[in-house]
Amino acid sequence: MTVIVDEEELLAKEYIRAEDVHQLSHPTRGFLCPRPRHDAAVRWSRYTVDHPQTGRVMLDTGERLFTSPYQSDPESWRQFKYVVPSHFLRLRSLKAAMYFTIGDAFVDDLRLIERVFYRRQLLMAFDFSFGSCRPFTTKRCALDYTIPLLTDELIEEMKASPFQTVCEGFFFCDDVLFMHAKSSFKFI
């Protein structure tokens, strides 16, 4: 089996699979999915992150998340920038929730793979399965993140390098990539 880790090779494939994304060793330069497939089948609406001990909401995208894919800037709806407190980097776990609605088609094996990089270094990877989704339903899926211990030196470097920490979200239906989004962070 050939290991594909090059972005250009992935873009040349008819379908990008979860195993392909797991092979990426650094952030992509562009998007692996030029325009979302199944864009009528899944409408993402909101993403929240709660503090694991207090339950206090630390990040809430509101209804802004993925809501306008056809505005004048076609990339702006899937490229996000967040300014967050640096104590995020010292947490060992996070609880999040993703909200979405399903259109008129059954969605099989909905899956999200997130890969977090600082510059070209992979810091952490997460793989969430949402199962199959019935048409015309609204979903709230809980996401539990276990965060690896980051060194004080790395945390200081990340704080001094705004928006160099990137989380790439790869969304799959039946193991075929249908959407790719990116978030970058500034830690204060």
- Per domain, the residue ranges of the chain are 7-187
For the domain 7-187, what is the CATH code?
A: 2.70.50.40
Are 95 and 141 in contact, with CB atoms under 8 Å apart?
A: no
Residue 28 C-beta-side C-alpha neighbours within 13 Å = 28
User: Pairing state of beta strands 93-102 and 138-146?
Assistant: antiparallel
Q: Which of 33-37, 74-78, 89-93 has the highest mean pLDDT?
A: 89-93
Note the pLDDT of residue 67. 41
Residue 156 to residue 159: CA distance in whole angstroms: 5
pLDDT at 64 over 70: no
Q: What is the pLDDT of residues 13-36, one digit of tens each?
A: 889 999 999 988 889 988 888 665
Contacts made by residues 48-53, CB under 8 angstroms, sequence distance 24+: 48/96, 48/97, 49/94, 49/95, 49/96, 50/94, 50/95, 50/96, 50/97, 51/91, 51/94, 51/95, 52/91, 52/92, 52/93, 52/94, 52/95
Q: What is the pLDDT of residues 104-115, one digit of tens each?
A: 888 889 999 999
- What pairs with residue 80 in β-bridges? 183
- Residue with the bigger pLDDT between 107 and 37: it is 107
Note the pLDDT of residue 17. 94
Residue 118's pLDDT band, with cuts at 50, 70 and 90, is very high
Structure-block tokens of residue 162: 């705004």
If 0-12 CB within 10 Å is exposed, 13-18 middle and 19+ buried, where does residue 115 land?
A: buried
pTM for this predicted structure:
0.86
Residue 100 to residue 107: CA distance in whole angstroms: 12
Residue 78 to residue 54: CA distance in whole angstroms: 30
